[in-house]
């Protein structure tokens, strides 16, 4: 299991001067940590800009410095090298991890001209047959699974959902591991509360199960807390009942979350 990655994720010196921030470094470290956590090999792509312009170099767009026939020839050669590497390994990578804004390795935005434009960089555009993901999205892998946990059916479903997420290389905090009928009492409630708060704060994404005639109150609280922290919230509602003509469930919960109707939709939304 491996990913191909923009090489500056592993070596920031390959980037143009002065553009790497501490926030960038934190994101790249999280992406590398995810790969280590799930034994995903990181294979760096060649850096077309470094090979063509060298280092150090100042920031610039594709049209500014790379829109020449010689660079197109270089891209063709590098693409052939990467595809030969994939063929030699005998399996496709999970994804190619790029860095948005890069003229060559952007995913959804790129400096093609002097202003950002939508779409992948000119190098990664050549690999449309392989999933492309921005490093900032790939680095968001710690999930807090908010869900009712009071019946056997609920716990079985929660565990199945957690297992599915784990199989796609997400690190899942499942509150029911701490909170059971046997664990309540003797001061454990305060411990459970503070542990869940800590795990909520440490999470990147909250996945919330909102089945039922009304969403579980604890789950609703966790969704609101996550929203206040600025975290991404994805709500899973497989229940076919609707709260009203226009609402699947409570309006305040729907407005703060991306709502999906199945685990398949959830995985498609998360991507990787």
Domains and CATH numbers, the chain: 2-138 (no CATH), 142-270 (3.40.50.450)
Residue 142 · residue 173 · CB < 8 Å = yes
Alpha carbon 145 to chain centroid distance?
A: 15
pLDDT recorded at residue 250: 74
pLDDT recorded at residue 186: 66
Predicted TM-score of the model (pTM): 0.88
pLDDT, one tens digit per residue, over 39-77 is 999 999 999 999 999 999 999 999 999 999 999 999 999
User: Is 125 exposed, middle or buried, given 0-12, 13-18 or 19+ CB atoms closer than 10 A?
Assistant: middle
pLDDT recorded at residue 183: 59
Given a cut of 50, the residues of the chain with pLDDT beneath it are none
Alpha carbon 47 to chain centroid distance?
A: 23
Residue 172 · residue 145 · CB < 8 Å = yes
pLDDT recorded at residue 181: 56
pLDDT, one tens digit per residue, over 183-220 is 566 667 788 888 999 999 999 999 999 988 788 899 99
């Amino acid at each position: 299991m491996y990913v191909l990655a923009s090489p500056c994720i592993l070596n920031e010196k390959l980037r143009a001067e002065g553009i790497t921030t501490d926030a960038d470094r934190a994101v790249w470290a999280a992406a590398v940590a995810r790969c280590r956590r799930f034994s995903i090999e990181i294979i760096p792509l060649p850096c077309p800009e470094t090979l063509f312009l060298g280092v150090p170099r100042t920031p610039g767009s594709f049209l500014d410095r790379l829109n020449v026939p010689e660079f197109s020839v270089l891209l063709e050669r590098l693409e052939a090298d990467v595809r030969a590497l994939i063929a030699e390994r005998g399996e496709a990578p999970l994804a190619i991890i790029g860095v948005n804004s890069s003229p060559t390795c952007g995913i959804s935005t790129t400096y093609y001209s002097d202003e950002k434009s939508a779409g992948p960089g000119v190098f990664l555009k050549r690999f449309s047959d392989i999933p492309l993901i921005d490093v900032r999205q790939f680095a968001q892998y710690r999930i807090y699974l908010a869900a009712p946990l009071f019946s056997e059916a609920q716990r079985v479903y929660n565990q199945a959902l957690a297992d599915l997420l784990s199989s796609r290389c997400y690190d899942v905090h499942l509150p029911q591991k701490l909170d059971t009928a046997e664990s309540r009492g003797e001061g454990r409630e305060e411990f459970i509360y503070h542990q869940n708060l800590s795990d909520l704060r440490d999470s990147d994404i909250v996945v919330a199960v909102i089945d039922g005639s009304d969403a579980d109150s604890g789950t609703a609280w966790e969704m609101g807390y996550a929203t206040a922290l600025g975290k991404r919230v994805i709500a899973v509602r497989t229940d076919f009942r609707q709260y009203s003509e226009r609402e699947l469930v409570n309006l305040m919960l729907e407005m703060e979350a991306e709502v999906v109707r199945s685990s398949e939709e959830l995985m498609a939304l998360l991507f990787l």
